[in-house]
């Protein structure tokens, strides 16, 4: 494990390397206990670098067996090798020379899951961001682009399958039951995209013919016996390939595309050139084992990794500060893909809910950082919602500002200009400026400034003058290390909604640039005056969530209810109802803390019920509209002195109020939504199930009776309905015989299926009750709990820490201690996953004093440990700062 040197990396310190590595030949003699790696590097001195300048290669825990320089074995003083560095003080003076480096690895002991490791008897690699240096010494930075040739040798029985990047070149038998394969990737790539897989896997194969007629062999590799569960992934891959051609004009560029599912993986998936490696959670799916959400995630992540081929691989990052260059852009592309495959409005609402749940708390807490950070201690800690999700929102705003045509021209120019290069955010922005003739200098602050901008709005109608005026005030709250903020360019999509629900037309507008339904806010204050407005409109603002901001204003309940019913923008309809729910929950939470029973306005409860029954709206939309803001959403709105128990009580009270009012309506709807057709993972079917499952919770609460959930659990022919029913039973009826029986039946049925068993752990970890802490301690003793499998850790501990506000924040601090103990246990073998789990503490300062003190104590105890990994030390210290 790397221990912390405390070194900080800064954007302004970027410097080109003195040497390049145009060619790499790797040979792997695979063995789980001891693997020999031979690397032949062709090294080239850059143009204006003096001959014999020292060459320093990165390593991480390496064990050097031998080194030759230009074919001659190097000895003694010719080099200096430590586990973390290989320094050749006086390299050959020729412009080009070769290094032959031999290292020895122990893949089966690698539990950090970075570099070369073994997962369920399959050799695989993970090199992003800095894992390649755990395989061999290298200039392990993304601006070093090399052509790779890889030879793999392994035992033929244990590893009949040998894969690497690029195209297959040669394969054959060797002595002693071994065999080999050679792969060549003609596209120069950074080391973080290198990959190797070797093992005994089942396969689904297919092919895809690109627009220009290249026939590509496609392979999806999974554990034997899981082949039928890979069909959906293959289908999603082919749809991704077609979509990128049609929407972005981007074709695939190799003869093969392979995708491998492994069961031990730190993240979701990895876009290695021509050989994507996936967490099997995002590959395997069928009706019996995967929910609709699983199917949607698989489609999105298959798309995401495939789209990286152009945004990330062909055009890569100059350095890791530019991570959002590939991630934000590729998330934007996968969002668009999903929106085209499914319902665009429903997808947008889900994105915004995700952004608020994951990115807003990051931006508003101690770990806040710009979309393009300027400094880091450990780059692994910057694979964040800010870089990914806010990074995507920023690209989306560029499209809003430029319009579809200029945006496409900018993308085309970016691809054309930078293909084969390692570039920066400045290069990206410049392509849009050049293609559109616009100045994006102020807009670029979205990349450079952390924090969620706030916009305050008020408006008035003057009937005599027939004018409508909107007062707009922007502010950006201070964040760690950035106390003063500059004014942003905020594109606010809007409409002036008339009594008939149509947008009103106006004669003229002054006070801001207003174009194509967007107000461009660029100053601190704008007074935007519309004239020729025949009657008082209802203002619909930030339509489609055109800017990732928080908004305040004194919109009346009547106006919000009106927008919820009539706005032409579906996002805004959802938002209006959601805001009303949030306001009701804020006031109910205050009531609960004052010791009283909360009451809810009948018009709000009635609006929810009538929306549920509105056949003109698609079921998936209705399901989202009827889903109350989560407990963390309410906590975020409260902002300070948070009492999670009061929020929980208030939310249950609103659920029950709606349940009682809607009982008869929901009953009829629930029955009507049932269909007898076999399960299909399409968007329409998923939408019907989503609505039905939201209704199920209300029905169970209406009579406080587990029977409806029990019936659905027993009758379900698919995992979506089964897991939803089990969740209702566990969350609301945990003490009943019905809940206990269902949990055991589920456990028995799926004992041998790790991905489904993860759901069983997850459902129990999310039960919002104080007793969950004790239950967690016993689940961690379960024979199937494993601290080395990241999916299992995330399902149990991750869910508890990030998805169970009430139990994690138990007043006695027991939830904090449980998570801290796990973080420290994980830290010893997998610092990356440990550090991520520790981010659960990031909102500790906004809690009421008792919990705040408990959290601070637990965090300080972690910080006191000696030899913390760089990953964990970085998170804990920033969280406490």
654 vs 835, which CB is nearer to ligand PHE? Answer: 835
Contact 409, 403 (CB under 8 A): no
Q: What is the distance between the alpha carbons of residues 247 and 251, in angstroms, rounded to a whole number?
A: 11
Closest separation between CB of residue 799 and Zn ion, Å? Answer: 23
Contact 132, 191 (CB under 8 A): yes
In eight-state DSSP terms, residue 797 is: I
- The count of C-alpha atoms lying within 13 angstroms of the C-alpha of 67, restricted to the half-sphere facing its C-beta, is 20
Among 383, 415, 461, 785, binds ligand PHE (CB under 6 A): 383
506-538 core/surface letters (b: 16 or more CB in 10 A; e: else): beebebbebeeebbbbbeeebebbbeebeebbb
Of 133, 104, 140, 162, which is closest to residue 21 (Cα–Cα)? 140
Closest separation between CB of residue 282 and ligand PHE, Å? Answer: 10
Q: What is the distance between the alpha carbons of residues 830 and 561, in angstroms, rounded to a whole number?
A: 49
- Identify residues 99-158 at the interface with ligand PHE (CB under 6 A): 126, 128
In eight-state DSSP terms, residue 864 is: H
The three-state secondary structure class of 48 is coil
- Identify residues 323-382 at the interface with Zn ion (CB under 5 A): 327, 330
388 vs 760, which CB is nearer to ligand PHE? Answer: 388
Of 768, 717, 718, 709, which is closest to residue 743 (Cα–Cα)? 709
Select the binding partner of residue 164 from ligand PHE, Zn ion, none (C-beta < 5 to 8 A, by kind): none
The residue range among 204-212, 320-328, 847-855, 857-865 that interacts with Zn ion, by the rule CB under 5 A, is 320-328
305 vs 482, which CB is nearer to ligand PHE? Answer: 305
Among 305, 319, 618, 738, binds ligand PHE (CB under 6 A): 305
- Per the omega criterion (within 30 degrees of 0), is the bond before 129 cis? yes
The three-state secondary structure class of 233 is helix
Closest separation between CB of residue 274 and ligand PHE, Å? Answer: 15
Q: What is the distance between the alpha carbons of residues 586 and 230, in angstroms, rounded to a whole number?
A: 45
Select the binding partner of residue 289 from Zn ion, ligand PHE, none (C-beta < 5 to 8 A, by kind): none
> Residue with the closest Cβ to ligand PHE?
267
243 vs 382, which CB is nearer to ligand PHE? Answer: 382
- Identify residues 215-254 at the interface with Zn ion (CB under 5 A): none
Closest separation between CB of residue 829 and ligand PHE, Å? Answer: 17
Of 410, 404, 401, 400, which is closest to residue 435 (Cα–Cα)? 410
Q: Is 322 in the site for ligand PHE (CB under 6 A)?
A: no
C-alpha distances (whole Å) from 261 to each of 109, 332, 637 are: 20, 24, 40
Select the binding partner of residue 314 from Zn ion, ligand PHE, none (C-beta < 5 to 8 A, by kind): none
Residue 100: its H or E element: strand 96-105
Instruction: Tell me the number of residues near ligand PHE by CB under 6 A.
Output: 11
C-alpha distances (whole Å) from 743 to each of 141, 746, 761, 769 are: 48, 5, 10, 17
Three-point CA angle 670, 674, 675, nearest 5°:
165
164 vs 649, which CB is nearer to ligand PHE? Answer: 164
Closest separation between CB of residue 334 and Zn ion, Å? Answer: 8
- Which x/- pattern, by CB under 6 A, does the window 209-248 give for ligand PHE? ----------------------------------------
- The count of C-alpha atoms lying within 13 angstroms of the C-alpha of 117, restricted to the half-sphere facing its C-beta, is 24
326 vs 870, which CB is nearer to Zn ion? Answer: 326
Number of CB atoms found within 10 A of residue 108's CB: 15
Q: Is 327 in the site for ligand PHE (CB under 6 A)?
A: yes
Of 260, 265, 326, 36, which is closest to residue 131 (Cα–Cα)? 265
Select the binding partner of residue 383 from Zn ion, ligand PHE, none (C-beta < 5 to 8 A, by kind): ligand PHE
The residue range among 75-83, 268-276, 702-710, 855-863 that interacts with ligand PHE, by the rule CB under 6 A, is 268-276
Select the binding partner of residue 267 from ligand PHE, Zn ion, none (C-beta < 5 to 8 A, by kind): ligand PHE
- Identify residues 537-566 at the interface with ligand PHE (CB under 6 A): none
Select the binding partner of residue 299 from Zn ion, ligand PHE, none (C-beta < 5 to 8 A, by kind): none
Closest separation between CB of residue 302 and ligand PHE, Å? Answer: 11
The three-state secondary structure class of 297 is helix
Say what the alpha-carbon torsion angle 775, 777, 778, 784 is, to the nearest 10 degrees: 120
Q: Is 267 in the site for ligand PHE (CB under 6 A)?
A: yes
Identify whether 305 is a catalytic site residue: yes
325 vs 541, which CB is nearer to ligand PHE? Answer: 325
The residue range among 262-270, 457-465, 490-498, 516-524 that interacts with ligand PHE, by the rule CB under 6 A, is 262-270
Beta strand 275-279 with 256-262 is: parallel
386 vs 550, which CB is nearer to ligand PHE? Answer: 386
The residue range among 63-71, 146-154, 261-269, 804-812 that interacts with ligand PHE, by the rule CB under 6 A, is 261-269
Tell the burial category of 347 from Cβ atoms under 10 Å away from its Cβ (0-12, 13-18, 19+): buried
Residue 154: its H or E element: strand 146-155
Candidates 305, 336, 393, 738; catalytic one: 305
The residue range among 264-272, 366-374, 424-432, 725-733 that interacts with ligand PHE, by the rule CB under 6 A, is 264-272
Q: Is 304 in the site for ligand PHE (CB under 6 A)?
A: yes
Closest separation between CB of residue 387 and ligand PHE, Å? Answer: 10
Q: What are the residues whose beta carbons fall under 8 Å from the beta carbon of 271, sequence distance 6 or more? A: 193, 304, 305, 306, 308, 309, 312, 313
Closest separation between CB of residue 269 and ligand PHE, Å? Answer: 6
126 vs 316, which CB is nearer to ligand PHE? Answer: 126
392 vs 843, which CB is nearer to ligand PHE? Answer: 392
- Which x/- pattern, by CB under 5 A, does the window 271-310 give for Zn ion? ----------------------------------------
Select the binding partner of residue 128 from ligand PHE, Zn ion, none (C-beta < 5 to 8 A, by kind): ligand PHE
302 vs 683, which CB is nearer to Zn ion? Answer: 302
Closest separation between CB of residue 378 and ligand PHE, Å? Answer: 12
Beta strand 256-262 with 215-222 is: parallel
- Runs of H (alpha helix) within 567-643: 570-593, 602-612, 619-626, 631-638
Closest separation between CB of residue 653 and Zn ion, Å? Answer: 41
Of 114, 12, 107, which is closest to residue 870 (Cα–Cα)? 114
Of 17, 821, 8, which is closest to residue 381 (Cα–Cα)? 8
The residue range among 226-234, 263-271, 686-694, 796-804 that interacts with ligand PHE, by the rule CB under 6 A, is 263-271
Contact 826, 834 (CB under 8 A): yes
The residue range among 269-277, 560-568, 598-606, 660-668 that interacts with ligand PHE, by the rule CB under 6 A, is 269-277
Q: What is the distance between the alpha carbons of residues 635 and 806, in angstroms, rounded to a whole number?
A: 11
Select the binding partner of residue 393 from Zn ion, ligand PHE, none (C-beta < 5 to 8 A, by kind): none
Closest separation between CB of residue 310 and Zn ion, Å? Answer: 12
Closest separation between CB of residue 837 and ligand PHE, Å? Answer: 16
Q: What are the residues whose beta carbons fall under 8 Å from the beta carbon of 42, sequence distance 6 or more? A: 21, 22, 23, 24, 96, 97, 98
Closest separation between CB of residue 202 and ligand PHE, Å? Answer: 24
Q: Which residues bind Zn ion (CB under 5 A)?
A: 327, 330
Q: Which residues bind ligand PHE (CB under 6 A)?
A: 126, 128, 266-267, 269-271, 304-305, 327, 383
Q: Which residues are catalytic?
A: 305
């Amino acid at each position: 494990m790397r221990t912390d040197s405390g070194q900080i990396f800064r954007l302004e310190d970027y410097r080109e390397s003195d040497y390049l590595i145009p060619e790499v030949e790797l040979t792997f003699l695979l063995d789980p206990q001891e693997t020999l790696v031979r690397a032949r590097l062709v090294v080239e001195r850059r143009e204006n670098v003096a001959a014999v300048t020292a060459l320093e290669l990165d390593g991480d825990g390496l064990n050097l067996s031998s080194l030759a320089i230009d074919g001659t074995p190097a000895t003694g003083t010719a080099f200096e090798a430590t586990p973390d560095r290989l320094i050749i003080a006086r390299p050959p003076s020729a412009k080009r020379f070769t290094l032959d480096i031999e290292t020895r690895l122990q893949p089966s002991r690698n539990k950090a899951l970075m570099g070369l490791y073994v997962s369920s008897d399959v050799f695989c690699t993970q090199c992003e961001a800095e894992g390649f240096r755990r395989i061999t010494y290298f200039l392990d930075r993304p601006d070093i682009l090399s052509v790779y040739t890889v030879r793999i040798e392994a035992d033929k029985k244990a590893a009949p399958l040998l894969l690497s990047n690029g195209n297959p070149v040669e394969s054959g038998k060797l002595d002693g039951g071994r065999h080999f394969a050679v792969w060549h990737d003609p596209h120069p790539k950074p080391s973080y995209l290198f990959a190797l897989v070797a093992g005994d896997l089942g396969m689904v194969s297919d092919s895809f013919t690109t627009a220009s007629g290249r026939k590509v062999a496609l392979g999806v590799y999974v554990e034997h016996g899981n082949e039928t569960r890979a069909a959906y992934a293959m289908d999603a891959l082919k749809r991704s390939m077609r979509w990128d051609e049609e929407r972005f004009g981007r074709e695939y560029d190799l003869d093969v595309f392979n995708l491998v599912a492994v069961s031990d993986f730190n993240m979701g998936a990895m876009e290695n050139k021509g050989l994507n490696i996936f967490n099997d959670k995002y590959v395997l799916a069928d009706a019996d084992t995967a929910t609709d959400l699983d199917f949607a995630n698989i489609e999105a992540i298959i798309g995401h990794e495939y789209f990286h081929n152009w945004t990330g691989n062909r055009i890569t990052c100059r350095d890791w500060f530019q991570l959002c260059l590939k991630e934000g852009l590729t998330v934007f592309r996968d969002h668009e893909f999903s929106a085209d495959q499914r319902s665009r409005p429903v997808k947008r609402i889900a994105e915004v809910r995700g952004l608020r749940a994951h990115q807003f708390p990051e931006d508003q807490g101690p770990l806040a950082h710009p979309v393009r950070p300027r400094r880091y201690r450990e780059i692994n800690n910057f694979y964040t919602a800010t870089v990914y999700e806010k990074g995507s929102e920023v690209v989306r705003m560029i499209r809003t500002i430029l319009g579809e045509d200029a945006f496409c021209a900018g993308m085309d120019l970016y691809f054309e200009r930078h293909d084969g290069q390692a570039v920066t955010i400045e290069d990206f922005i410049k392509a849009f400026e050049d293609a559109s003739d616009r100045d994006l200098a102020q807009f670029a602050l979205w990349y450079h400034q952390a924090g969620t901008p706030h916009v305050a709005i008020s408006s008035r109608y003057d009937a005599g003058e027939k004018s409508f005026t909107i007062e707009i005030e922007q502010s950006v709250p201070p964040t760690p290390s950035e106390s003063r903020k500059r004014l942003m360019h905020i594109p606010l999509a809007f409409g002036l909604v008339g009594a008939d629900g149509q947008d009103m037309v106006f004669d003229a507008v002054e006070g801001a640039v207003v174009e194509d339904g967007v107000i461009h806010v660029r100053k601190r204050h704008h007074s935007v005056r519309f004239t020729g407005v025949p009657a008082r409109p209802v203002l619909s603002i930030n339509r489609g969530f055109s800017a990732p901001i928080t908004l305040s204003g004194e919109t009346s309940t009547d106006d919000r209810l009106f927008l919820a019913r009539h706005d032409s923008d579906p996002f805004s309809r959802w938002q209006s109802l959601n805001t009303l729910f949030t306001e009701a929950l804020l006031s109910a939470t205050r009531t609960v803390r004052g010791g009283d029973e909360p009451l809810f306005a009948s018009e709000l409860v009635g609006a929810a019920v009538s929306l549920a029954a509105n056949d003109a709206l698609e079921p998936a939309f209705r399901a989202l509209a009827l889903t109350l803001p989560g407990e963390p959403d309410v906590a975020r709105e409260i902002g300070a002195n948070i009492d999670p128990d009061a929020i929980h009580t208030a939310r249950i009270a609103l659920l029950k109020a709606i349940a009682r009012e809607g009982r008869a309506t929901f009953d009829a709807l629930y029955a009507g939504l049932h269909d007898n057709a076999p399960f299909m993972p399409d968007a329409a079917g998923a939408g019907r199930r989503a609505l039905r499952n939201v209704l199920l919770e209300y029905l169970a609460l209406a009579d406080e009776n587990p029977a409806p959930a029990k019936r659905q659990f027993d009758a379900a022919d698919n995992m979506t309905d089964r897991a939803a029913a089990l969740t209702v039973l566990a969350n609301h009826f945990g003490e009943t015989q019905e809940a206990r029986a269902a949990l055991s039946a589920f456990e028995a049925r799926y004992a041998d299926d790790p991905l489904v068993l993860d759901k069983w752990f997850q459902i129990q970890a999310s039960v919002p009750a104080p007793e969950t802490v004790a239950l967690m301690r016993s689940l961690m003793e379960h024979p199937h709990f494993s601290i080395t499998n990241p999916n299992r850790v995330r399902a149990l501990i991750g869910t508890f820490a990030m998805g169970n506000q009430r139990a994690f924040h138990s007043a006695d601090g027991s939830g904090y201690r449980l998570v801290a103990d796990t973080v420290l246990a994980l830290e010893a073998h997998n610092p990356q996953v440990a550090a991520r789990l520790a981010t659960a503490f990031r909102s500790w300062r906004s809690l009421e004093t008792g919990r705040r003190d408990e959290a601070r104590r637990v965090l300080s105890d972690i910080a006191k440990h000696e030899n913390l990994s760089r990953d964990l030390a970085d998170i804990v210290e920033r969280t406490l700062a």
